[in-house]
Structure 1
């Protein structure tokens, strides 16, 4: 049941991971209410006492948990121990500290990697989330996010909280981690094309020629979060909710990036490193947000490339 009186109060919103892609995007929308975007020095998520101290000092009454030890395919394979450990600790610390300080409303970001490697059908729906093992290429991150959902569900059912888990597909946009070694696919490819263009070299990219991914902009995720704020008591009963849109062939995305850089000296090496495709249903999302309009993919891609080039020497994580 919706607590009407809660939404008459001033909303004081604590955001973890505020320096990341979604966090930075969310800051550009954060006009109404009172917002807190602490740095890791101001609030260390690996240190429970640090979280407790920040919460007691600033008295938030709502949490948006975006922070995670996250990366692309290569990082997922290379640092499995740290990825599982760090995310489990951060998730447990923020949930316990929030509940101890009566922050019973919040939005928690998960990932589509939590879905099984062999789902019973495509597109995958929210109720398929735990029907099998996740893909081994990102199992550590997947298990940490599965347990985050399970924790939120327990708090909702046992302790009357309103914690909503959102499951976005592949997010991209300005402020992404553009590391060639451990960035997500679009960000890493953008960086590689930039380097190849500067050095006037041929670029070789390994990917399955039939690989498909659902991409959404960081702005789409931020606007979804804002849409949930004053409806959370009702929406949290539908948790989790997948944020997804149409699929794109990776080779087509790579071609678009090559054109944006005006650098066509590249070769696709047909080698599937992860799952060929893992489409997710956005029926529940559409039912919950019937008037939501997703950003145009090509326009967002062009803006991302432009932002990357403009900020390469100043504000790019690489």
Structure 2
């Protein structure tokens, strides 16, 4: 990408899209196109067709998606499948129709089988059954990967796919009913400290292990791959190490400065036992994450610690 190229970021107000936008702006890209969902409904094929025909972007980051945590994924199964399929079908197809130079599709680590060997290698895709609670979302994302490859095979489109691990950072979702685990923990500990509570309850046993990447590191990796990766298949983006949910809770407790007790609620679901990305493919290309988990959580805490959630 050159700094004068017209770049469209789909989903620029979400955590991923906003991080990519910040990264490009910091690098002096001055021809970035964005649309809010009220300005452009990506589920509407006619609106998307008109947008691409009018704007003619040269590069596209497809970071728009309907996202949520375990409860949201499991409750709104039809919505997660339908809306994500519509968004990516419309954007990918119009990128082909309007001769976009390159498109990057962002997926999720939940595309991998529930019981796949760890760490998760790119070739483990479609080798086993998915985690049932987020299967509709995962199936939509798998369809997006395969769609990019199919358009590459049939039409020669330079469409690439990347799979981020669990993310956190600015513009995260802190709604306790449909957020992911790290923002949920941050909110719980901040509120508990504000209220002088004696304990914080975390979901499940605390034993599952998860990997976390700051969204600014993800954005840097995405821009790096947009400039350096032009192959079918997908590339994992992650830290390459993980932490148990209980240890994560202890780290958040320490950063927030909460003095009470951590209680595990084993009536709540654990989800997948472990999700660690194998990032050797990306590392071998010359990119590694810079932000440690402790440093990243501290940055986020400093941004949100005065939020009033009571």
User: 1:211 offset after TM fit, Å?
Assistant: 1.6
* Secondary structure, counterpart of 1:107 in structure 2: strand
- For residues 184 and 81 of structure 1, what CA distance do their matches in structure 2 show? 20
Q: Structure 2 CA distance, aligned partners of 1:266 and 1:24?
A: 35
**Given the alignment of the two structures, is residue 23 of structure 1 paired with residue 17 of structure 2, yes or no?**
yes
SS of residue paired to 1:237: coil
Matched, 1:294 2:294: no
Q: Is the 8 A contact 2:208 2:270 kept in 1?
A: no
C-alpha displacement at 1:9, in angstroms?
9.3
Count of aligned positions: 303
Partner of 1:269: 264
> Normalised by the size of structure 2, how large is the TM-score?
0.92
Partner of 2:46: 49
Q: How far is 1:53 from its partner? A: 2.1
Greater Cα shift, 8-17 or 185-194: 8-17
Which residue is 2:250 aligned to?
255
Q: Tell me the residue number matched to 1:196.
A: 192
> Which of 206, 223, 227 is the equivalent residue of 1:226?
223
- Whole-angstrom distance in 2 between the partners of 1:144 and 1:292: 28
Cα distance in 2 for residues equivalent to 1:225 and 1:29: 10
Q: Deviations over 1:158-181 (max 9, x none)?
A: 110111111011011121111111
Query: Which residue of the partner structure matches residue 163 of structure 2?
Result: 167
Counterpart for residue 4 of structure 1: none
CA RMSD between the two structures: 2.0
Offset from partner CA, 1:121-163 (integer Å, 9 cap, x none): 3222101111012110210111000101110110111110111
Q: 2:5 aligns with which of 4, 11, 14?
A: 11
| More moved, 8-17 vs 43-52 | 8-17
Please, which moves more after superposition, 264-273 or 149-158?
264-273
Per the TM alignment, residue 70 of structure 1 is displaced from its structure 2 partner at its CA by 0.6
Q: 2:211 aligns with which of 209, 214, 226?
A: 214
Out of 132, 144, 150, which is 2:146 matched to? Answer: 150
**Separation in structure 2 between the aligned mates of residue 242 and residue 189 of structure 1, nearest angstrom:** 25
Runs of 4+ in 1 over 3 A off after TM superposition: 7-10
Separation in 1, partners of 2:205, 2:160: 34
Unaligned runs of 5+ in 1: 1-6
Residue matched to 1:306? 302
Paired position in structure 1 for 2:122: 126
TM-aligned CA deviation for residue 59 of structure 1: 2.0
Q: Please state how far the C-alpha of 1:278 moved relative to its aligned partner.
A: 2.3
Partner Cα distance (1:158, 1:29) in 2? 32
Instruction: Return the offset for 1:216.
Output: 0.7
Choose the corresponding residue for 1:239, options 228, 233, 236.
Answer: 233
Counterpart among 92, 108, 125 of residue 111 in structure 1 = 108
Q: Which runs of 5+ in 2 are unaligned?
A: none
Q: Which string of whole-angstrom CA distances, capped at 9 and with x for unpartnered residues, describes residues 186-241 of structure 1?
A: 0111111122222222321123332211111101110011112333xxx1215300
